[in-house]
Amino acid sequence: MATTNISVGSQVWVEDSEKAWIDAEVLEIDGNKVKARTSTGKVAVSLISNVHAKDTDAQPGGVDDMTKLAYLHEPGLLHNLASRYELDEIYTYTGNILIAVNPFAKLPHLYDVHMMEQYRGAPLGELSPHVFAVADSAYRAMVNENRSQSILVSGESGAGKTETTKLIMQYLAYMGGRAATDGRTVEQQVLESNPLLEAFGNAKTVRNDNSSRFGKFVEIQFDRSGRISGAAVRTYLLERSRVVQVSDPERNYHCFYQLCASPEDVERYKLGEAHTFHYLNQSNCYELNGVNSSREYTKTRRAMEIVGISPDEQEAIFRVVASILHLGNIEFVPGKETDSSKPKDEKANFHLQVAADLLKCDAKGLQDSLCTRIITTRDESIKVSLDPTSATVNRDTLAKTIYSRLFDWLVEKVNKSIGQDPDSTTLVGVLDIYGFESFKTNR
């Protein structure tokens, strides 16, 4: 334990409300409490278990592999990352794990062909830490051992996971000979599907305006000679709850706002502005800085064309998206019978009818499916009325289920457009996993 090295006069790290950790000098130790003067001149009193020894011999610019640090505790790791970040070194190893700190800036010189050539065949750790080194290591292991490999990309929203995944695919395409299908490389086909998956699977969170709210496993398939022969996108854990429940200042999925910004389709699907829909107006955020929803809608349509979604299928997709918005505006009040419910008023009936028309089903049948449930016994089926609260839960469940199935269908279309290699025996899988945000309350 680092605490065994602490005595009066020791250089240590103590907790700080602003910087998380701050360096200090121990003034006094009283039982399990430590009094220390921080580098800002303040005196802090901490439990000895929350005080960590500082390496006074640490290199000013940090180390490129944190297994070299004298102390592997939180403040030591964070200080090393911060020291490297100040020198524009955004990558650091911890053994064979690569830690990336988002520079929030374009660094094209780090990812050009010259840089890929440098890392080609270089053993992991021989050159400066880099995402290409990890990708090369996976590719080499796959070729040399004839075994599939996986790369896990994890982190908080806005950390740069999706961009890192793209860079890994870029390197694998460079190493895999950029095998082309119909004039477009597999890498291009995967990347061209991104706008479509982002429109339906990404949303604004507190920390990121374009956060993936689903997990994505991209399989890059190779033939026996190590050339890319196919690919597939596997998705999982779509955040279905976001469809019906949004916390301020976050937003629902991008596709809803894009559709509401399309003058032509607003009229076609009897929509209004985003703030008129319950599934969107639970938050006061409707626009994103520097983003034009109408233009993004055009880009989404273009992405659909690229992956082979026909005009009729596109129309059906946005008909379903519009129906979900209308479903959310169907409010319920008590019906004539005990514990029964019905649409609240003419406005609710309007949205019920439009939702039914868009889903191409009977409005009365849709109302019954929301306001009742069927209990099946051994001898018969009994229709039971639902109160307004239960009907609302039914409505939200239907909306989430429809959206989830639409998303799955879109992914299937993406995979058909990319093309999988049924004869491939090896692949490199890149897992882009979300969900590591830390909040006081997690809904």
CATH topology match: 2-53 vs 263-418: no
Q: Quick one: tokens of 364?
A: 């009365």
Q: Does 208 participate in catalysis according to the annotation?
A: yes
Q: Which residue ranges of the chain lie beneath pLDDT 70?
A: 1-4, 178-183, 434-443
Catalytic one of 208, 293, 329, 426 = 208
Task: Residue 322: name the closest of 287, 368, 276 by CA.
Answer: 276
The answer to whether residues 171 and 208 touch, using CB atoms and an 8 Å cutoff, is no
Q: Which of 125, 158, 177, 419 is catalytic?
A: 158
**CA-wise closest residue to 186 among 229, 226, 236, 216:** 229
> Which run of H or E residues covers position 144?
helix 131-145
Single out the residue of 266, 275, 272, 271 nearest to residue 248, CA to CA: 275
Distance CA 161, CA 98 (A): 12
The one catalytic residue among 89, 163, 331, 437:
437
> Is 211 known to be catalytic?
yes
| Per-residue model confidence (pLDDT) at position 177 | 74
Find the angle CA(356)-CA(359)-CA(364) to the nearest 5 degrees.
30
Residue in 137, 211, 252, 323 annotated catalytic: 211
Helix, strand or coil, per DSSP, at residue 418: helix
Please, which residues have CB within 8 angstroms of residue 87's CB and are 6 or more apart in sequence?
61, 62
Q: Which two tokens stand for residue 270?
A: 């009897």
Active-site residue, from 80, 137, 162, 323 = 162
What phi and psi values does residue 19 have, to the nearest 5 degrees? -100, 5
Per residue in 341-395, pLDDT (tens digit) is: 999 999 999 999 999 999 999 999 999 999 999 999 888 989 999 999 999 999 9
User: Residue 431's closest CA among 164, 104, 131?
Assistant: 164
Give how far Cα 187 sits from Cα of 1, 173, 174, 178, 211, Å: 47, 6, 9, 8, 22
> How many angstroms separate the CA atoms of 298 and 288, rounded?
16
Contact 102, 159 (CB under 8 A): yes
Tell me what percent of the chain is helix, strand and coil, each rounded to the nearest 5: 40, 20, 35
pLDDT at 2: 46
Q: What is the pTM of this model?
A: 0.86
Given this model, what pLDDT does residue 435 score? 56
Assess if CATH 1.10.10.10 describes domain 2-53.
Answer: no
- Placement of tokens 């094209």 in the chain: 108
Question: Distance between CA 277 and CA 286 in Å, rounded?
Answer: 11
What pLDDT was estimated at residue 433? Answer: 81
Question: Are 69 and 55 within 8 A, CB to CB?
Answer: yes
The domain 66-241+424-433 having CATH identifier 1.10.10.10: the answer here is: no
Q: Is 392 a catalytic residue?
A: no
Domain 263-418: give its CATH code: 1.20.120.720
Token pair belonging to 113: 């062909």
Which of 92, 157, 417, 426 is an active site residue? 157
Instruction: Report angle CA 370, 372, 374 to the nearest 5 degrees.
Output: 120
Catalytically annotated residue among 137, 205, 212, 424:
212
Active site residue 162: yes
What residue segments make up the domains of the chain, in order of their start? 2-53, 66-241+424-433, 263-418
